[in-house]
Amino acid sequence: MIKDAMLYKSSGDFRVECSLCAYRCKIADSKFGFCGVRQNKNGKLYTHVYAEAIASHIDPMEKKPLYHFFPGSAAYSIATIGYNFRCPFSQN
């Protein structure tokens, strides 16, 4: 489902700056950001993965990359298509 995105600024020349992640993509008209799921259409940003979860899990907190964050508790994890990290050790 394509839906209006949040967390971006229009620059007035049909370009947008996405602020969803640290890349702060400056996206030209009709192009996608680094993640591949947020698209600029006529100066407005849209997400192509709204309400399209591909995975949903309840995981032990110790599985998450959070240091000393409520040990022994659980974390609800969701995932969509689109990924903005390119690290060799990533499991995604």
Q: 32 versus 81: which is more confidently predicted?
A: 32
DSSP 49-75: -TT--SEEEEEEGGGSS-TTSSTT-EE
With a threshold of 0.85, does the pTM exceed it? no
Q: Which pLDDT score is estimated for 42?
A: 96
User: What backbone phi and psi angles, to 5 degrees, belong to 40?
Assistant: -90, 125
User: What tokens appear for 78 in the block?
Assistant: 């969701």
Higher per-residue confidence, 78 vs 88: 78
Q: Determine the pLDDT at residue 83.
A: 76
Query: Could you say which DSSP state residue 29 is in?
Result: T
The Cα–Cα gap between 70 and 77 comes to: 15
CA dihedral 17, 19, 24, 27 (to 10 degrees): -30
**21-74: per-residue pLDDT in tens?**
989 999 999 999 999 999 999 999 999 999 999 999 999 988 887 777 888 899
Residues whose CB is less than 8 angstroms from the CB of residue 71 and which lie 6 or more positions away in sequence, other chains included: 61, 62
